[in-house]
Each structure stands twice: as structure tokens, then as C-alpha cells.
């Protein structure tokens, strides 16, 4: 029984955690900080930062981002094509 219910229990705990205001605010703040670093970065640093930012934005959910971050993420995606 444990093998069946334990993963479901953990999935619910994670869903609850990801929907807390502190998690949402923290993720947005982290992405804004990464955006600031990206703007100030050298071209080589941008090559390293871009995939990290895109992955974090995808994990969080691009539709949940504020407008300015959505635009920034869309710009990064366009540059990487």
C-alpha cells in the first residue's frame, strides 16, 4: 500500500507548496534577479544564463509570470532559435 500512496501523497504536498504565495513571490523574484544579471552579462555569460532562465521559467509556468518577465522570456526564446 505504501508504494501506491506515498508518491501520491508527495505529489499533493508539492502542489500545495508550489501554490503558496511565498513560493510564487520567491520564484518571480529569482527570475527578476536573473534577468538583471543577464542584462549586465557579457555575451559568453549570456550563453550560460539563457538556458537556466528558460528552464526555470518553464518549470514555474510561463503563463504565471508577470508581463515584463513574459516578454523577457519570449525574447530569450526568440534569440535562441
Q: In this predicted model, what pLDDT tens digit does every residue of 50-65 receive, in sequence order?
A: 999 999 999 999 999 9
pLDDT at position 25: 93
Quote helix, strand, coil % in the chain, to nearest 5: 90, 0, 10
Please state the φ and ψ torsions of residue 41, each to the nearest 5 degrees.
-80, 160
Residue 18 has pLDDT above 90, yes or no: no
pTM of the prediction?
Answer: 0.81
Residue 60 has a CB neighbour count (10 Å cut-off) of: 19
pLDDT at position 3: 85
Name the pLDDT band for 70 (thresholds 50, 70, 90). Answer: very high
Residue 36 has pLDDT above 90, yes or no: yes
Amino acid at each position: 500500500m505504501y508504494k501506491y500512496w506515498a508518491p501520491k501523497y508527495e505529489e499533493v504536498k508539492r502542489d500545495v507548496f508550489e501554490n503558496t504565495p511565498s513560493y510564487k513571490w520567491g520564484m518571480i523574484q529569482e527570475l527578476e534577479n536573473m534577468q538583471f544579471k543577464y542584462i549586465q552579462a557579457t555575451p559568453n555569460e549570456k550563453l550560460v544564463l539563457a538556458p537556466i532562465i528558460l528552464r526555470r521559467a518553464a518549470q514555474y509556468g510561463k503563463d504565471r509570470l508577470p508581463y515584463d518577465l513574459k516578454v523577457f522570456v519570449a525574447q530569450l526564446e526568440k534569440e535562441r532559435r
